[in-house]
Structures are given as structure tokens and as C-alpha cells.
Amino acid sequence: MANESMEKPATKAWLYGYPLVTAAMTKGTMTAVPARDDARRKAPVNQFCYMHSTPDASFTEFVSPNADTLYSSAWLDLSEQPLVLVLPDFGDRSGRVRSWTPGPTSAPSSGSARTAAPPARS
């Protein structure tokens, strides 16, 4: 860099700003539909879209999806007011709601993580 005094602030700006820019681009792509479109995995802001089959090699919305998991996704706008998300009883199945934020903060997750019982010892 021609001006070494700018290298550190430029690096910080890139590390902070890049996730925000890519998230805005992803949101724009995933919400640019007038109504929910589960087949294309897109929905307007504050509406969920639902996968009806497990992801295959064409799934590129995020890196490394689980091949045995059905996904639902939504871009939620909390700028005007909070939203309440009511989860069904998952029974004996595993269910998890993950929150994600593109910024430097972490978001909580909720749900139930169920694992198989350990094998019986003989």
C-alpha cells in the first residue's frame, strides 16, 4: 500500500464491512419475490420459505448444509418492532432455530438437540 498508515484501518474496514455487504446482497437475492417460492428457496422479508427435500449439490445458499436436514429460512426485519416466533412441539425429533447476524455480534439459538442413546454394553 502506498500509505502504510492506511493499511490497518483499511484491513479493519474490509473485515467488518465485507460480511455486511455480502449479507445485503444475499438478502436482496433471497427476498426479491412477491410471494413465498419454496422451490427457489426465496420469500419476502418476514416470511419463511421451507425446503421440502434435503439439499443436493445445487444447494448454494450457505456452505456445507447437512444432507439429512430440512431447512427453513427467513430474513426478519426487527427495525420497527420485535417479532415472536412460536415453535411447534418437535416430539422425539430434533428441532433447532438458529439466528444469524452478519455483524460482529453473535445471535442465540433455541430448540431441542436430540441424540441417540449410547449403545448398550454387553
**Would residue 117 count as lying in a domain?**
no
pLDDT at 120 over 70: no
Q: d(Cα 22, Cα 29) in Å, to the nearest integer? A: 11
Mean pLDDT of the chain: 80
The pLDDT tens digits for 6-65 are 899 999 888 888 888 988 998 999 999 999 999 888 999 999 999 888 887 777 766 666
Torsion of CA 52, 53, 55, 61, to 10 degrees: -10
Is 60 contained in some domain? yes
Q: Which residues of 43-68 are buried (b: 16+ CB within 10 A; e: fewer)?
A: bbeeeebebeeebeeeeeeeeeeeee
Give me the mean pLDDT over the 62-82 stretch.
Answer: 83
> Is residue 122 domain-resident?
no
Residue 24 lies in a domain: yes
Higher pLDDT, 96 or 37: 37
| Residue 90 placed within a domain | yes
Q: Is the pLDDT of residue 117 over 60?
A: no
Q: Does residue 3 lie within any of the structural domains?
A: no
Q: How far apart are the first and last CA of the chain?
A: 66
Q: Which domain holds residue 50?
A: 10-112
Q: Which of 63-67, 88-92, 118-122 has the highest mean pLDDT?
A: 88-92
The answer to whether residue 4 is domain-embedded is: no
Of the pLDDT bands very low, low, confident and very high (cuts 50, 70, 90), residue 75 is very high
Tally of structural domains, the chain: 1
Answer whether residue 107 is part of any domain: yes
